[in-house]
Amino acid sequence: MIRGLIMLLAVAMIGGAAYWFLASSGAKANLCPLDESETAPSGRSVTLCDVVYEVQPSNEIWAVVRVVDRGLVTNVGHEDHDWACNLWGVRAAERDPRPARIVVQFMAEPFERGEPAPGITQSIEAYAISDDTCQWELL
């Protein structure tokens, strides 16, 4: 009888762990619905994860272009940020109302926007759009 209870408990624990793993894997997959891969000027393979439009306290709208670079270990150079803004940010600015700023966020792995991401390397730059070209701005 005790052996049966132990087996039942073990099966329940394994089932719970499998459910948690599958549920968390599915949640991560939904973090990057766009999944558009390109090669950046640095030669690294990057993927457009998503574009998030955020209303700031000033009531300005910012378009946040979120890019996954799984090899990211330190800040990305301006060249890759500029390239990502001109490739994806200009397109994101073709929205009404037009975003006042484009923020390009490179991240080593996807995570929920606005949530803490300890241990995930990120590199962020901001741009204004002028004549359909990204102009770097100091945040």
pLDDT, tens digit (0-9, with 9 covering 90-100), for 28-37: 557 899 989 9
- CB of 53 closer than 8 Å to CB of 74: no
* Pick from 16-25, 48-57, 80-89, 96-105: least confident: 16-25
pLDDT in tens, 110-125: 999 999 999 999 999 9
Q: Which residues pair with 52 in a beta bridge?
A: 64
pTM: 0.77
Q: Where are the domains of the chain?
A: 1-30, 34-137
pLDDT in tens, 70-110: 999 887 778 999 999 999 999 999 999 999 999 999 999 99
What angle is formed at CA 77 by the lines to CA 98 and CA 93, rounded to 5 degrees?
Answer: 10
Spatial CA neighbour of 131 closest among 64, 86, 80 = 86
- CB of 71 closer than 8 Å to CB of 44: yes
- CB of 62 closer than 8 Å to CB of 99: yes
Please enumerate in sequence order all residues whose Cβ is within 8 A of that of 131, keeping only pairs 6 or more positions apart, or say none: none
Percent of residues, the chain, with pLDDT higher than 70: 79
Backbone angles phi, psi at 3, to 5 degrees: -60, -40
